[in-house]
Structure 1
Amino acid sequence: MTVRGNVPSELATGDLTAITCRLCGSSGLSSVVDLGATPPCERFLTAAQLDQPEMTYPLHLRVCTSCWLAQIPPLISPEDTFTEYAYFSSYSSSWVEHAKAFVNDVVDRLRPEFVVEVASNDGYLLRHVVDRGVRCLGVEPSANVGAAARERGVDTLTEFLSPELGARVRAEHGPADVVVANNVYAHIPDVLGFTQGLRALVADDGWVSIEVQHLLTLMELNQYDTIYHEHFQYYSVASARRALAAGGLALVDVELLPTHGGSLRLWARPAELSAAVSARVGEVIAREEAAGLLDISGYGQFAARVAGVRRDLLAFLVQAAAEGRTVVGYGAPGKGNTLLNHCGIRPDLLAYTVDRNPYKHGRFTPGTRVPIFPPERIAADRPDYVLVLPWNLKTELLDQLSYVRDWGGKLVFPIPSLEIV
C-alpha cells in the first residue's frame, strides 16, 4: 500500500479493490459496519474554529477473512493525532486504580528491575512503579501529556515506538523485564513495526503485557462507538496471537478484563523462549469461534444492531425535546464523538456536555459542535437528563453523578442498549 500524504493511494483514486489487510496482506476484506464520515474524535474545536471548515474521513470497519483482523483504512496518521493529545488518563479515577492494582501485582509477582511503558500518557501507571522504587521509563509521543508525566516524576521520552527506537532504548537503558502497552495496540497502523519495537525493548526472558479492547465484546454488546480513526484495528485473541507472532513475540496467556466495556490483557514473551502457553488462550479462542468471529457468520447482523442503537437514542432525544426536557451530556471521550456524529446529535438535542479535563473546557465537540463545560455546570443547571458518553465507566459514574437524583434528574446510558437510570 503506497500513501499520498495521509491517504493510501488506492483510497485517493477510489480503487477499493486494492485495499489489503495490514496484517496478512490479503485482499479479502468484508464490510462489518459503515458509520459514514466523521472528523477525528479528539480534534476539539475552539470558538474561533466554529466558522471554519472541518475535515471528515470515512469510518468503515471491515474484517479480513483470512486472519480475522478487524480494521479501518489508515486515513489519518498517528502523528496527526498524537503529537498533541486531548486525553489524559489520570482524569479517570477507576482507570488509575486499575493501573495501580496491575503494577502492584507485577512488582510482587515478577520482581522486575526495569519497566517500560509504551504510550505512557500522563504517567497514570508508571507513577505507581516509581512509588514501588522500580526503575522505569515512559515512551509517549504526545508532547503535552508527556510533559504532565515528567511533572509527576516519571522519566518519559517523547517519541513514537519503532524497532529502531526500541533498540536505542535497550542500548541506553538496558532491556526491560516488563514492557507495558495499554490501549495502544489498536492505535498503530504499522502492526508489524510496532510489535518488533516491543520485542526490541523486552529482555530475552522478559514479559510484554498488552491491554486492548476485545472484538468479542465490541460485537456482542454493540460497542460501535469505540470505532474511530485513532483505532486502526480491533483484536480477537486469534488475530492478536498472529500479530504478536509476526513481530517475534509468542502469546502465552490472556486475561478477560471489564475495562473499556471488555478488554484483553495479553501476556507475551520472546518467541525463542518457547514458553508454556496457558490453557486460557485456547479457551478464549474457542469462545470467539463459537461466536462466529473466525468466519463471516459472526459479523452479518452487527450493522443492523448499530442502526437500532441510533434509532433508540434519537427517538429518546427527540421526545425529550418535544416535552421541553433538558438533556446534557457527561464526558467528551473519543467514543462519544463517534456516537454524536453517527446519530447527528447537535446542541438542539444535547445542550452541552461536561468533562473533568480542563483542556476541553471552552471547546466544542468535533463535527457536532456541542459546547464543553466543567462538571459543576450540571449541578448549577439541574437538567432533566444526563447522557453519559463514557458508558464504560458506568460503575464509577453512578457514584460520581448520584447528586443528579437530588432534583429528580436521570442518567441515560446509550450502549449496549438505551437505559435510563
Structure 2
Amino acid sequence: MTRCRLCGSATLTSVVDLGATPPCESFLAADRLDQPEPTYPLHLRVCTDCWLAQIPPLITPEETFSEYAYFSSFSTSWVEHAHTFVADAVQRVGLGPDAFVVEVASNDGYLLRHVVDRGIRCLGIEPSVNVGAAARDAGVPTLTEFLSPDTGSAVRAEHGPADLVVANNVYAHIPDVVGFTRGLRALVADDGWVSIEVQHLLTLIEENQYDTIYHEHFQYYTVASATRALASGGLALVDVELLPTHGGSIRLWARPAEVAGEPTRQVADVLDREKAAGLQELSGYTEFSARVAKVRRDLLRFLIEAAERGETVVGYGAPGKGNTLLNHCGIRPDLLPYTVDRNPYKHGRFTPGTRIPILPPEQIAVDRPDYVLVLPWNLRAELVEQLSFVHDWGGRLVFPIPELSIVEVKP
C-alpha cells in the first residue's frame, strides 16, 4: 500500500503486522484439505494526514461476498439489536406508511424483516447470492448487487428516494470508500437520513480487539475519519451513538450536506475522547502491537499448559474474527481439536489456514470438555447464558480478548 484510499496521502505508518493469512470466511470443504490456500498480508497502517486506519485491498469484495458464510439471523442478540433499531428509527426519522427504507448489505433480512412487519416499503441491497436468497425466502425484497453510485441511482430511479438508508457493518468492507459513500448519497432523499454502524477504532485499540482486523475489513474508523469519509460523498455527520455491539461500535447519523445543520454535542464529546486517546497523532497507536503480542502469548501458554495437564479444550463459534486469532496464534487441531457453530453452512467444513473442524454445537455436551474457548467474544453475555450447561460437568469458558479470562459459569 502506497497511498491512503480516502485522502490519497503517502504518509502511512504501521500499526500492527499480523503476518499473512487466508481470507477469514474461506471455510474449507473436506475435499479441499489437500489443496493449497492463498494467503495475503494482514498489515494495519494509519494515514497520518486523515487518520484513516486501513489495510491494503488485496482481495476484492466480489471474491468475499458473492457467496458468503455469515448469516446474521443466527445471532439472537443481533436480531434483537436490529428490532430495537427499527423501532427507534421509526420514531427518530418519522417513518410513516408512505416511507421507503433501503438497507445496504442487508444479509439475510435480519433487519428489514422488522420493517416489513410494520408495513413499511423497503428494499435490501445484498451482494451475496446465497444470503440474499434467504432474505427473499423470508419475504424481504432484495436486490443482488454491490452498491455503487450507478446502483444507487438505478434504485432511486426505479423505487424513488429513500427516507432512510441503513448500512450496518458494511462501511469497513468496501475498498472504494468514496464511491460507496456516493452510492449512499444517490439512494437517500435530499431531506433523508443515513444510518451507519461500524466498529469504533477507539475500542479496537483500547480493548486489544485485533482479531477484528481481517481482509474483508479494509478500513477502521474513528468518528473523525468517518466524518471525512462521509464528506467525500456529499454527506455530513449530524449525530453519533456509542454502541456495545462487536465489542464497541459507533452508529453514525448523517444527512445530505445541504440540510444537515450543526452536529450534536455527542459528536463533539466523542471527538474529544478520540483526541484524548491520541488517535489523531501517532502516540495512540505505538503500544498496540506489543499488547497484541501479549494476547497471543497468553492464549498459547494456556492451551499448551492445558494439553500438558491432559485437559481438553474445544472452541465455540467460527466467526471471521476467530480465524484471524487462530492464524496469528498458530493454533492447530493439536491444541484445539474442533470448534462448533450454530450455522449449518459451516458444519463439516474447516477453518481457513488452521484446518480446525467445525461441528454442530451439540458436540460439546457429548464430549464434556474441560474448557470451551469462545471465539465470538463480543457476544459474551449471550454466550455465557447459552453455554451455562457446561457447568454440569465442571467445564469453564475461556475468553481471549481483551485479555485471557477463564469464567466459571452458573447453571
Shared fold (TM-score greater than 0.5)?
yes
Cα 1:326/1:139, change in 2 over 3 Å = same
Structure 1: state its 5+ residue gaps.
Answer: 1-15
**Residues in 2 aligned to 1:348 and 1:125: alpha-carbon distance in whole angstroms:** 39
**Residues in 2 aligned to 1:276 and 1:152: alpha-carbon distance in whole angstroms:** 40
String of CA shifts for 1:10-68, please: whole Å, max 9, x gaps. xxxxxx6xx10000000000000000000000000011000000000000000000000
- What does 1:389-404 align with in structure 2 at a 5 Å threshold? 389-404=375-390
In the alignment, what sits opposite 2:315? 329
**Residues in 1 aligned to 2:260 and 2:212: alpha-carbon distance in whole angstroms:** 35
Determine whether 1:296 maps to 2:279.
no
- What does 1:106-255 align with in structure 2 at a 5 Å threshold? 106-112=89-95, 113-255=99-241
**Residues in 2 aligned to 1:59 and 1:310: alpha-carbon distance in whole angstroms:** 16
Of 281, 292, 296 in structure 1, the residue corresponding to residue 267 of structure 2 is: 281
Aligned residue identity for 2:141 = D
**Residues in 2 aligned to 1:52 and 1:302: alpha-carbon distance in whole angstroms:** 35
Aligned residue identity for 1:89 = S
**Residues in 2 aligned to 1:283 and 1:24: alpha-carbon distance in whole angstroms:** 25
Determine whether 1:420 maps to 2:403.
no
**Residues in 2 aligned to 1:36 and 1:277: alpha-carbon distance in whole angstroms:** 40
Aligned residue identity for 2:51 = W
Of 316, 325, 334 in structure 1, the residue corresponding to residue 302 of structure 2 is: 316
In the alignment, what sits opposite 2:344? 358
**Residues in 2 aligned to 1:95 and 1:252: alpha-carbon distance in whole angstroms:** 25
In the alignment, what sits opposite 1:91? 74
String of CA shifts for 1:49-94, please: whole Å, max 9, x gaps. 0000000000000000000000000000000000000000000000
Contact 2:93 2:193 in 1 (8 A): no
Aligned residue identity for 2:55 = I
Determine whether 1:32 maps to 2:18.
no
Q: 1:107 deviation in Å?
A: 1.4
Aligned residue identity for 1:62 = R
Q: What secondary structure sits across from 1:365 in the alignment?
A: coil
In the alignment, what sits opposite 2:45? 62
Determine whether 1:78 maps to 2:64.
no
Aligned residue identity for 1:29 = L
TM-score, structure 1 length as denominator? 0.95
Aligned length: 404
Identity of aligned residues (%): 79
**Residues in 1 aligned to 2:175 and 2:166: alpha-carbon distance in whole angstroms:** 19
**Residues in 1 aligned to 2:52 and 2:92: alpha-carbon distance in whole angstroms:** 32
Q: What secondary structure sits across from 2:145 in the alignment?
A: coil
Aligned residue identity for 1:226 = T
**Residues in 2 aligned to 1:121 and 1:86: alpha-carbon distance in whole angstroms:** 10
Q: What secondary structure sits across from 1:272 in the alignment?
A: coil
**Residues in 2 aligned to 1:238 and 1:400: alpha-carbon distance in whole angstroms:** 37
**Residues in 2 aligned to 1:400 and 1:388: alpha-carbon distance in whole angstroms:** 12
**Residues in 1 aligned to 2:72 and 2:240: alpha-carbon distance in whole angstroms:** 23
In the alignment, what sits opposite 1:378? 364
Contact 2:163 2:192 in 1 (8 A): yes
Q: Tell me the C-alpha RMSD between the 2 structures.
A: 0.6
**Residues in 2 aligned to 1:292 and 1:71: alpha-carbon distance in whole angstroms:** 17
**Residues in 2 aligned to 1:202 and 1:298: alpha-carbon distance in whole angstroms:** 35
String of CA shifts for 1:151-187, please: whole Å, max 9, x gaps. 0100000000000000000010000000000000000
Q: 1:109 deviation in Å?
A: 3.1
* Structure 1 runs of 4+ with >3 Å offset: none
TM-score, structure 2 length as denominator? 0.98
Q: 1:413 deviation in Å?
A: 0.1
**Residues in 2 aligned to 1:342 and 1:353: alpha-carbon distance in whole angstroms:** 17
In the alignment, what sits opposite 2:32? 49
Q: What secondary structure sits across from 1:98 in the alignment?
A: helix
In the alignment, what sits opposite 1:4? none
Aligned residue identity for 1:187 = H
Q: 1:271 deviation in Å?
A: 0.5
